[in-house]
Structure 1
Amino acid sequence: MPKSITIMKQALAKNLKSFNFWFMILFPLFILAVLALIFYFTAGDSKTPTALVSDDPQIAELLTEVEGIELDTSITSPEEARTALENKEIQAYFQIAGEATDLEVEIIHTLGLAESLTNLQMIQAILSNYQMQARAAASGIDPELVAEMLQTVDIQETAYYVSDEGLVQQGNNIAVTSVISYALTLIVFLVILFYPNIIVTDLAQEKGTRVMEVILSSTTSNQHFFGKILSILVMILIHFLLYTGIIALLWPFVKGMNQVQIVLDMIDVEELLAALNIYIFVFILLGVLIYVIMAAFLGSVSSSNEDAQKAIMPLTLLGMLGYFAGMYGLTNPQQPLIIISSYIPLFSPFIMPIRILNETVSTTSIWIIMIINILFLALVLFITLIFYRSNLLVYSDGNFIQGVGRAFNIVKSERKN
C-alpha cells in the first residue's frame, strides 16, 4: 500500500501540472462567467420602456401595475410618444381612444419588440376586463358580480409515479429537480469523458517511453494499478472541492440577485435535500469507478499515444450513449427503455440520479440496481487486474485491436501454464 501511495503522489503531481487538467477546470468556469455577465447586463433591461397616450387616467393606473413594462407617465400626446420612439427613449407606446365601454387600442413599437413584449396578452386581458366592467356599470349590472363571474379557477397539481408499491406522490420541486438532474448527468458525462482519458494516456506514455520497466522493477502491477486509480479519484475530489469553494465564495453575491431569489422562493429546501440522498452519489461513484477501471484495462494494452486515443474511443461512445439516455430520461423517466437502461451498469450513473430525483424508482429497485453495479464493478476489477499484470510490459507494433487480441492470447497462455 505505501508504494501505491507513492505512485499516486507521482501521478497526481504530474497531472496537476498539466494544461489539460486546468483547462478542464477553468473552461466551464469561463463559459459560466460569460453567461452570468450576459444574464446580469440583460436582466436590468428586462422591462420594456413604454408610454401611454390616453385621456383615461384609470388605464394608466392599471398599466403601471403590469410587470415587464416601465411606463413613462411624462409622455401624454401622440407627438411626444412618436418623438420618444424615434429617439429610442421608449420601445413602444399604447394609443387608446374611445369610451371605456368601447376601447380602441393600438400599440406602436419598434421592429422586433412584439417578441420581447411577452406580457402583451396580460395587458389585453386587463383592458378587456376594464371594458367589461364599464359595460356592466353602464347596463346597471353590479361590477362586483361581474368580477366574481370573471374570476379564474385555481388548479392544484398533484403528481404521482407508478411503482411496485402503488401510486407514490412526487414532490413539489419537479422543475428544480429536473434542472439538478440535467446538471448531474452533464457532470457525470464530463468526468467520464475526461478522467478515463488521463489514465489511458498516462499508461500509454509510460509504456511507450519504457518507463514502465523501471517502475515495475521496484513495485508490483497491483500496487501500480491502485496507485493510478487513487490518483484519479483524488483529482476528481480536488476538482469537486475547487468548484465547491468557488460556489461558496460567490454565493453571498449571487443569492442577492432578484432572479435567483425568485427561484429560491419556489424551492422547498427540505424536500430538495431529502431528494438528494446518498443513493445518487453512490451510483455516481460506482459509475466513475467502472469507467476508470475499464480505462486502465484499455491503457494496459496500449503501447503509444496513438493507441491510447483509439483505445478510449469505445469508452467515450458508451459514455455518450449513457448521456443521451439520461437526456431522454429527463422528460420520459418512466419509459421502459429508461427503466431497462438503468439496470445496465454502464448507463446507471447517468439514469439513476434522474430516476431517484424524480421519485420514479422504488427503494427495492434502487438496491437491486446498486447490487448489480457492485457485482459488475467487481467483475471489471478482476478482469482488469489479470490483464494489467500480464500486459504492462508487452509492446505491440500493430493496431489497438491487434493489441487486445495479443493480450487475450497472453492471458490465456498464462492461465494454461
Structure 2
Amino acid sequence: MSKFWVITKEVYKKNIKSFGFLMMVLMPILVIGFIAAIAYFTSRDTTDIEQIPIAVVTEDTQVQSLFAGEEWNFEVDASISTEEEAEEALSDESIEGYLLIDSTESGIQAEVVHANALNESIPLISEVLSNYQTMMRASELDLSQEEVFALSEPVDVQERYVSIEDGTITEEDSTDLMVQQFGAYFVSIAIMVFIMTYAGIIAEEVANEKGTRIMEVILSSASATNHFFGKLVGVMLVLLTQIAIYVGVALAALFYFRNSEFIEMITSTIDIGAMLRELMGYTLIFFITGVIMYVVLAAFFGSLATKMEDVNKAVTPIVFLALAGFYVGLFAFSVPDHTISVVASYFPLFTPFVMPFRIASETVSTLGIWLSIIGTILFAVLISVVSLAFYRSNVLIYSDTNIFGTIKRSWKVMQSNRQAKKMRA
C-alpha cells in the first residue's frame, strides 16, 4: 500500500506544481472575471449615460412637462417653441431630435423627428402620450382618476406549477424547476469540461513511462495494480483540488460582494439553499460517477498507446462518446419523454448527461433515478476491473499497430497468463 501512495503522491505533486495546472485553473476564473467586469462597467455606463438633448414643440404645457421629468433621459430645450426653430437646431446638431405634439379635443397627434437617436424611446413616448390621452378623455367624461385606473387596471394572472405522478397532482415551486434545470446544465457542462481536460492528463500519465521504456524498472518495484490505481487516484486528487479552488474562489467572491445590488437581486429571486441542495444531491452523484467512468476509460486507452505521440489518438473515442452524450442530454432537455431520451438515460456512458435533464423535467420516477445511479456505479466498477486486467497485459506491450490490434494482442497475452496460472496450480 505504501508504494501505491508513493505513486499517487508523485503524480499529484508533479501535476499540481506544473504551469499547465496553473493556467488550467486560472483561465476559467479570468474569463468569468473579464465577463463580470464588462457587465459591471456596461451597467455603470448605462446609469451614467449622458442625456439626449431634444425639443418638444406643443402648445399644451402639460404635455411639455411630461418629458421634463427625471425619469426621462432627455434634456428638453425650453427655448425652442416652433417647428422652424427645432428644425434649425437639429440641423446645427444642437439637439438630437424633436417632438411635434398637437393636443386637440379629438385626441393627440404626435410626430418624432430625430437623427437615429430616439429609436429606443419611441415606444415609451407612445405609451406616455396614450396614457395622457386617456386621462384627457376621462376628464371629458367626468371620470375621476381612480375610476380611470380601475378601467385600465391589468388582470392579475397567477401561475401555479404542478407535477402529476400516478394520477395525483402536487403543487411545486417554480424556483425548484429553475434550480433543477440549472443543475442539469451545470453537471453536463462540468462533466464535458473535465473529461476534455483530464482524459488527456490521465492518458499521458499512464502512457508516460511506457513511452520512455522504463516501465520494466517501475514494475520491478511496484505491481501493475498499484501503478494503475496510483496514477488514477493521483489525477483524481488533482481534479478535486481544482474543484476546491473554484469553490473557495466562489465563496470568497460571494462574501466580498454580498452587499452589492447584483448579489442582493440574485439572492432575492433565487433560493441559494435550494440550489446547493439540488447540486449536492443527484447532480453531484452523476457528476462524480460520470467523471470517474470517463477518466478510467482514458487510463485504459492511454495504456494502449506505445508512444506519447499516440495519446491524443487513443483518447479520441472517449471524446466522441462524451460529445454524443452531451448532445443527447440537450435533446432530452427539449423532449425528455422521447424514447431516445429514456433509453439513453439508462445507458451508463450517457446517464450523467441525460438523467439530470429528465429529473429536471420530472419525467422519471425515484426508482428510475436510483436504478440509473446503481447501473452507472456498477458500470464504473466493471470498466475499472476490465481496464486493470487489460492494463496488466498490455503495459509491457510495445506495438506499432492500431488500438484494436493492441487490444487483440493484450487479450491473447491475458489468456496466456491465465492458462499459465492454471498449469502452476
TM-score tier, shorter chain, comes to 0.7 to 0.9
State the shift of 1:113 in Å: 6.1
Equivalent in the alignment of 2:17: 17
TM-aligned CA deviation for residue 108 of structure 1? 4.4
Q: Is the 8 A contact 1:161 1:169 kept in 2?
A: yes
Tell me how far 1:414 sits from its aligned partner: 3.0
Partner AA of 1:383 in structure 2: V
1:247 maps onto 2:267 in alignment: no
CA, structure 1 residues 167+304, in 2 after alignment: closer, same or farther (shift >3 Å)?
A: farther
Distance 1:191 1:110, change over 3 A: farther
RMSD over aligned Cα, in angstroms?
Answer: 3.1
- Give distance in 1, aligned partners of 2:14 and 2:409: 30
Q: Secondary structure at the match of 2:157?
A: coil
SS in 2 for 1:156: coil
Structure 1: runs of 5 or more not aligned: none
Partner SS, residue 45 of structure 2 = coil
2 CA distance for matches of 1:315 and 1:237?
Answer: 21
Deviations 1:202-237 (A, max 9, x none): 222210101322221111111111111211221111
Counterpart code for 1:237: L
Please state if 1:292 is matched with 2:295: yes
1:138 is matched with 140
- Whichever residue aligns with residue 392 of structure 2, its letter is R
* Partner of residue 158 from structure 1, selected from 144, 157, 160: 160
- Alignment-derived partner of residue 181 in structure 2: 178
In structure 2, relative to structure 1, the CA distance for the partners of 1:384 and 1:152 (3 Å cut) is same
The match for 2:205 is: 202
Q: Once the two structures are superposed, what CA deviation does each residue of 1:82-129 show, in whole Å capped at 9, x if it has no partner?
A: 8699769x8766554424862233344554763xx3x75454334322
> Is 2:312 the counterpart of 1:309?
yes
Q: Which amino acid aligns with 1:403?
A: T
Alpha carbons 1:310, 1:400 under 8 Å: kept: no
Task: Verify: 1:356 aligned to 2:359, yes or no.
Answer: yes
Q: Distance in 2 between matches of 1:63 and 1:159?
A: 44
CA contact (8 A) 2:393 2:410 kept: yes
Measured in 2, the distance between the counterparts of 1:19 and 1:130 equals 66
- Tell me, in whole angstroms, the C-alpha distance in 1 between the residues paired with 2:92 and 2:382: 73
How far apart, in 2, do the equivalents of 1:213 and 1:185 lie? 40
Scaled by the length of structure 1, what TM-score is found? 0.86
CA distance in 2 between partners of 1:108 and 1:367 (Å): 65
Q: Is the 8 A contact 1:172 1:268 kept in 2?
A: no
Secondary structure, counterpart of 1:44 in structure 2 = helix
Deviations 1:3-58 (A, max 9, x none): 11110111112212333322321222222122112111111233564456264446
On the 8 A contact 2:55/2:78 being kept in 1, the answer is yes
1:329 pairs with 324, 329, 332, which one? 332
Change (3 A) 1:140 1:319: same
1:365 and 1:61, CA in 2 relative to 1: closer, same or farther beyond 3 A?
farther
In the alignment, residue 152 of structure 1 is paired with which amino acid? P
Q: 1:36 to 1:165 in 2, by over 3 A?
A: same
Flag the 1:100–1:336 CA change in 2: closer, same or farther, 3 A: farther
Output aligned runs, 1:9-408, within 5 Å.
Answer: 9-46=9-46, 49-50=51-52, 51=54, 53=56, 55-57=60-62, 60=65, 64=69, 70-72=73-75, 77=80, 94-99=99-104, 102-111=107-116, 114=119, 117=120, 120-163=122-165, 166-173=168-175, 174-175=177-178, 177-408=180-411
State percent identity of aligned pairs: 32
Answer with 311-320 or 142-151: which moved more: 142-151
2:423 maps to what in 1?
A: none
Which residue identity does 1:289 align to in structure 2? Answer: I
2:188–2:326 CA contact under 8 A, matched in 1: yes
Q: Counterparts of 1:11 and 1:268 in 2: how far apart (Å)?
A: 40
Q: SS in structure 1 opposite 2:397?
A: coil
Give the alignment's TM-score, normalised by structure 2. 0.85
Select the structure of larger CA radius of gyration: 2
Query: Residues 392 and 327 (structure 1 numbering): CA distance in 2 closer, same or farther, change over 3 Å?
Result: same
Structure 2 unaligned residues grouped into runs of 5+: 421-425
Match of residue 416 from structure 2: 413
Letter in 1 for 2:352: P
| Structure 1 counterpart SS, 2:46 | coil
| CA–CA separation in structure 2 for the residues paired with 1:414 and 1:36 | 58
CA distance in structure 1 between the partners assigned to 2:406 and 2:55 by the alignment: 77
| More displaced 10-residue stretch of structure 1: 5-14 or 361-370 | 361-370
Aligned AA (1:405): K
Shift of 1:292: 0.9
Q: In 1, Cα distance between the equivalents of 2:105 and 2:323? A: 61
Contact 2:187-2:286 within 8 A present in 1 as well: no
Q: Alpha-carbon deviation of 1:294?
A: 0.9
How far apart are the structure 2 equivalents of 1:191 and 1:241? 14
Q: Structure 1's 199 and 275: CA in aligned 2 closer, same or farther, altered over 3 A?
A: closer
- Do 2:101 and 2:108's aligned partners in 1 also have CA atoms closer than 8 Å? yes
Residues 397 and 92 of structure 1: is their aligned pair in 2 closer, same or farther, counting only changes over 3 Å?
farther
Matched residue type, 1:150: S
